[in-house]
Amino acid sequence: MTRSLQLVDVFSDSPLSGNPLAVVVDAEGLSQETMQAYTRWMNLSETAFLLPPTSDAADYRVRIFTLARELPFAGHPTLGSCHAWLRAGGKPRQPDLVIQECGAGLVAVRRGDTGLSFAAPPLVRSGPVEESFLTEVTNVLGIERAHVVDATWADNGPGWVAVLLNDAGEVLALEPDFSRYAGQGSLDIGVVGPYAAGGGCAFEVRAFFSGDHGEMREDPVTGSLNASLAQWLLGTGRATAPYVTSQGTRLGRAGRPRIEQDADGTVWVGGATMTLSTGEIDL
């Protein structure tokens, strides 16, 4: 059966500078095994599959796959999926608000003058990082424990542990090596460091995670991580919204996630989205 496909660039105003996402627009009837196999074949960090919603409150449903597994939630697939759904003719119940259904539940996506932004979902794990595990993390990052200003669990689905360094330069200088990880299972590390005041970006962000066979991958631009980092940085007074982060610099990308916060405390993560290619896939 032939299905529509869009390749969407997310989180950058310049084409080919953000995080690419493949979106299969009409995925109804595909098995989980086919979705996972297609994701591995595409070899992008994530591929999204759009489906009719099962919740009366949702406009559409999405299943999000990495090369290794399905995720309950991810940021750049949320924005990219919403963009693809709207471009394919999707009509939301509310003109300026789209409700996405995913494994983590319902996620609101706001439509505004600056593009799409999603409401950061609640964390499934937060709080201090065990010192023994933090030692493993610093070993992987190749830094001394003393270089860590703070660390926390910032998991909203993918499994992030967040590490704050002194400045953006230290973040950009990291040369991580997952072969130094002595633990078991997957490892998802988000690292953040501030820029000097007055620049275009407030923080530099890097995201490292385990690939299909345990190897290290670096994500170009990561919505879920920027969401949980924002909740942490805003909550501890280390950031003031609105602000823009930089991500993907070491990979030759120019990711620019935009962070906003409502009066009620809701954190929104937004960025540019653009379809760079459309086509069909026979699955």
Residues that are catalytic? 46
The residue with tokens 């997952």 is 178
CA distance 72 to 156: 9
DSSP code, position 250: G
The strand pairing partners of 254, in sequence order, are none
Task: Please give the angle made by the CA atoms of 141, 272 and 80, to the nearest 5 degrees.
Answer: 80
| C-alpha distance from residue 190 to each of 152, 174, 230 (Å) | 10, 12, 12
Cβ(12)–Cβ(31) under 8 Å?
Answer: no
SS3 22: strand
Is-cis flag, bond preceding 128, omega within 30? no
